[in-house]
Structure 1
């Protein structure tokens, strides 16, 4: 998971948050702690890659995670064996 960057401006944090909320509305999904953490981490990664507009972030989130089930994690922990 990506660490939060304290140098972000309030407008940037609001934009990242809005992109995640828009993803939930687009997919008619109810937020959970796990899905929100994953989406926020992905949005922050996209932001750090240079995607600085709400539209870019929303498009990338929707493309990468095309439905709520795409956020499912198969293993409950990183130490699980398959």
Structure 2
């Protein structure tokens, strides 16, 4: 039987969610579905690149996305007609 150490996985999730929550507090912004998806995806990407602490992650998120407006996606949806 495989031995999965779930406490490490929970710790990883805590680091990621803390970084995202801190980004929102820093920017005095309320989460939206779109912004949450983008920030969480970016946080996971950064984590997978080796940035393992909440401090590292939030710093990089703030540099990459300097405001809530920087999270807006301006590309047309797949439902739009050309």
TM-score (norm 2): 0.84
Gaps of 5+ in 1: 1-6
| Greater per-residue helix proportion | 2
| Separation of aligned partners in 1, 2:14 and 2:76 | 30
Gaps of 5+ in 2: 1-5
Instruction: Work out the number of aligned pairs and report it.
Output: 76
Equivalent positions of 1:9-48 (< 5 A) are 9-48=9-48
TM-score (norm 1): 0.84
Question: Which structure: larger Rg?
Answer: 2
- 1:68 partnered with 2:62: no
Deviates more, 1:11-20 or 1:69-78: 69-78
**Runs of 4+ with deviation above 6 angstroms:** none
